[in-house]
């Protein structure tokens, strides 16, 4: 018999009730959690920019795309595991839910260890391919290698959180992110201001905080959620579940990897314009990460919602959820445009003291704000497609972003009227193009037949 929704377990059945209500109740804790997660990066940048210097800030920033690449390879598999759990939960197949949770241990451990080793060994080569200036490459390598040591913690937190969210519980992962964020801020200040550890201290603070969130989330899930109380027999590897996890997770991981590689290529273009443009790009990247969080949270809510409903065979309910989520994305994007235009420079001034960098970043924020709705309409339909099991499209989605950044950046930055401003025009144009491709895929309706649950 399926575990019922209650306050102790946090489990929520999204196959009944108001779609908008479910999406909002699910997305708000996710949003708060994602904002706390972004606090890691924001605090890193503010502390490094103000207390270590703009070169150190550029070193941390140039690692951003590489960090995303390495983390996405393991987090993509966590998303695939969550999709399977959501669909089996919606279909009321409790034994399959438990089997998926058990086999996720092997999937996540293998992925995390592989990525950690590869990232540690090859980050110097990648940074040199990206034309990272010699003045900052030493700090960049140190930051990246230290961060790679924490990928196992990231993978297992993402895995446990993805499963809890698939069961409709978006609140519990939030609590542990709040705790780990506070730890991260405290350790940042300790390692940088008092121990003078520079970028190594920032990276070390982050991986410790991530490891804490992973341990707390797993312990809670085992103690409170019946699905996590697995017997020795259930912990035996099952090839079918492992195969499904990789089949759904690898396209998402590859999508994120393609996006990360395209961002790294764009970072290479940025690096050719000097340290001031690099610092401004790092600032706008941090701001965009924050702006993306409502869209990302909504997309994750749509993934769980559509996963449970497609598992239950309720396709029209899935469509209704998309329409309501799109309206939410539109409202937020319209709200953020005046914020960017009125306060862009003040926001940029939180990161650095140099006037030239603040002016560059403020104008860049205003440029990209005009395309925020395009960004939102990447996350919403992509969340639906992933939740329904159409993760094969994720690879096409990643290729689209890859082509856009690779194609637009060198063309736009060579236009005399744009110059380095073409970097941020490339970002906005990439969002709009990718959102159109996502909606075309949704309109074709293939997602209706992509579920993993046998009908």
pLDDT in tens, 25-35: 888 888 887 77
Mean pLDDT of 442-454: 81
454 band by pLDDT with thresholds 50, 70 and 90:
low
SS3 389: coil
More confident residue, 45 or 299: 299
The token pair at 298 is: 């909504």
All residues at 6 or more sequence positions from 129 whose CB lies less than 8 Å from its CB, including other chains: 268
Q: What is the percent of the chain where pLDDT is above 90?
A: 17
- What's the confidence (pLDDT) of residue 388? 87
* Joined tokens for residue 8: 């102790």
Query: How large is the average pLDDT for residues 205-226?
Result: 88
pLDDT at residue 171 greater than cutoff 90: no
Please calculate the CA angle 125-263-404 and round it to the nearest 5 degrees.
130
Q: Kindly tell me the burial class for residue 247, based on how many C-beta atoms sit within 10 Å of its own C-beta (0-12, 13-18, 19 or more).
A: middle
40 pLDDT band (50/70/90 cuts)? Answer: low
Top-confidence residue, 432 or 144: 432
**Residue 9: what pLDDT?**
58
For the CA atoms of 399, 410, 284, 203, the dihedral, rounded to the nearest 10 degrees, stands at 70
Mean pLDDT score of the chain:
84
**65-69, 227-231, 326-330: which has the minimum mean pLDDT?**
65-69
Q: What is the pLDDT of residues 47-101, one digit of tens each?
A: 777 777 777 777 777 777 677 777 777 778 888 888 888 888 888 888 888 888 9
In whole angstroms, what is the distance from residue 295 CA to residue 302 CA? Answer: 10
Least Cα distance to 283 among 37, 16, 51, 54 occurs for 54
Residue 62 three-state SS: helix
φ/ψ of residue 164, rounded to 5: -60, -40
Give, as one character, the DSSP assignment of residue 421.
G
Distance from C-alpha of 204 to C-alpha of 145, rounded to nearest angstrom: 10
Report the 10 Å Cβ neighbour count for 50. 15
How many C-beta atoms lie closer than 10 Å to residue 313's C-beta? 14
Q: How confident is the model at residue 429 (pLDDT cuts 50, 70, 90)?
A: very high
Average pLDDT over residues 399-424: 89
> Which residue shows structure tokens 């994305």?
329
Distance between alpha carbon 372 and the CA centroid of its chain, in Å? 17
- Backbone CA torsion sign across 285, 286, 289, 290: negative
d(CA 244, CA 452) in angstroms, rounded, equals 8
Q: What is the pLDDT, as a whole number, of residue 186? A: 87
How far is C-alpha 90 from the chain's CA centre? 25
Please provide the DSSP assignment of 294-350 as one string: HHHHHHHHHHHHHHHHHHTT-HHHHHHHHHHHHHHHHHHHHHHHHHHHHHHHHHHTT
DSSP characters over 255-307: HHHHHHHHHHHHHHHHHTT-HHHHHHHHHHHHHHHHHHHHHHHHHHHHHHHHH
Query: How many other CB atoms are found less than 10 A from the CB of residue 415?
Result: 11
Q: Can you tell me the mean pLDDT for 388-393?
A: 83
Among candidate residues 259, 303, 302, 300, the one with its CA nearest the CA of residue 406: 259
Tell me how far apart the alpha carbons of residues 226 and 210 are, in angstroms, rounded to a whole number.
25
pLDDT in tens, 57-68: 777 777 776 777
Residues 423, 413 contacting (CB under 8 angstroms): yes
Check whether 322 has a pLDDT greater than 90.
Answer: yes
Query: What is each CA distance from 290 to 38, 107, 147, 425, in whole angstroms?
Result: 6, 30, 20, 19
* pLDDT over threshold 80, residue 16: yes
Which range, 53-67, 215-229, 237-251, has the best average confidence (pLDDT)?
215-229
């Amino acid at each position: 018999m399926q575990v019922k929704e209650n306050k102790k377990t946090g489990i929520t059945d999204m196959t009944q009730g108001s779609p908008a209500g479910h999406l909002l109740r699910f997305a708000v804790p996710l949003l708060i959690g994602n904002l706390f997660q972004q606090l890691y990066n924001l605090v890193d940048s503010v502390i490094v920019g103000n207390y270590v210097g703009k070169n150190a800030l550029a070193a941390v920033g140039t690692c951003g795309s590489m960090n995303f690449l390495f983390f996405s390879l393991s987090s993509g598999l966590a998303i695939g595991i969550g999709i399977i759990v959501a669909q089996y939960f919606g279909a009321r197949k409790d034994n399959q839910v438990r089997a998926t949770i058990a086999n996720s241990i092997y999937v996540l451990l293998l992925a995390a260890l592989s990525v950690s080793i590869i990232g540690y060994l090859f980050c110097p080569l990648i940074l040199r391919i990206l034309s990272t200036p010699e003045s900052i490459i030493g700090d960049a390598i140190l930051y990246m290698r230290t961060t790679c040591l924490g990928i196992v913690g990231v993978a297992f937190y993402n895995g446990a959180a993805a499963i809890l969210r698939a069961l409709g519980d978006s609140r519990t992962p939030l609590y542990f992110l709040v705790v780990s964020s506070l730890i991260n801020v405290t350790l940042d200040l300790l390692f940088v201001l008092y121990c003078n550890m520079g970028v190594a201290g920032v990276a070390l603070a982050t991986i410790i905080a991530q490891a804490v969130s992973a341990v707390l989330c797993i312990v809670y899930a085992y103690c409170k959620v019946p699905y996590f109380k697995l017997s020795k027999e259930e912990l035996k590897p099952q090839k079918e579940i492992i195969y499904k996890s990789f089949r759904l997770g690898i396209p998402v991981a590859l999508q994120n990897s393609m996006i990360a590689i395209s961002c790294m290529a764009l970072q290479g273009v940025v690096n050719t314009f000097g340290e001031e443009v690099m610092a401004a790009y790092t600032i706008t990247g941090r701001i965009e990460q924050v702006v993306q969080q409502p869209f990302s949270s909504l997309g994750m809510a749509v993934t769980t919602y559509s996963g449970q409903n497609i598992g239950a065979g309720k396709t029209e309910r899935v469509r209704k959820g998309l329409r309501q989520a799109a309206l939410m994305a539109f409202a937020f994007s319209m709200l953020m445009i005046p914020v960017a235009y009125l306060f862009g420079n003040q926001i940029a001034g939180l990161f650095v003291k140099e006037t030239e960098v603040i002016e560059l970043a403020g104008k860049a924020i205003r440029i990209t704000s005009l395309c925020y709705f395009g960004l939102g309409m990447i996350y919403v339909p992509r969340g639906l497609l992933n939740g329904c099991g159409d993760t094969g499209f994720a690879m096409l989605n990643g290729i689209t972003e890859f082509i856009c950044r690779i194609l637009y950046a060198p063309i736009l930055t060579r236009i005399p009227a744009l110059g380095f401003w073409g970097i941020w025009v490339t970002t906005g144009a990439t969002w709009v193009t990718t959102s159109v491709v996502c909606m075309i895929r949704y309109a074709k309706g293939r997602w209706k037949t992509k579920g993993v649950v046998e009908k």
